[in-house]
Amino acid sequence: MHRSTSRPSAVLSIRIDAANPDHHLWNNHGTWWCHYTLHRGGLKRRRRVSLETRVIEEARARRDALFAALHGLSDRGPRGDEHAARAPADEVAA
């Protein structure tokens, strides 16, 4: 008998400061990174993802694409398509 186990879906937890276009971004020695928090089944995971760019406008676009991809995962479950900004593998497989 095959028993399937399901993991609780991840919920993206972000607060957006409309006055700050660089929310969730930080520059580490010239490369832009994004930070956010995922909540899953009572656990909280703080994530840091390199956006692999030195250009702030590109970093903002990649951050927005990453958040859109993660929001889609938390609403509908796993998706098999490629995301414009690469989400970490454990979130894509969530």
pLDDT of residue 5: 60
Kindly state the average pLDDT of the residues 14-28.
90
> From CA 48, how far away is CA 32, in angstroms rounded?
11
Share of the chain above pLDDT 90, in %: 41
Question: What six digits make up the tokens of 80?
Answer: 């098999």
pLDDT of residue 40: 84
Query: Do 89 and 78 form a contact (C-beta atoms < 8 A)?
Result: no
**pLDDT higher than threshold 90 for residue 78:** no
Kindly state the average pLDDT of the residues 32-58.
93
Contacts of 30 (CB under 8 A, 6+ apart): 54
pTM: 0.66
Residue-range domain boundaries for the chain: 11-92
Query: Do 87 and 73 form a contact (C-beta atoms < 8 A)?
Result: yes
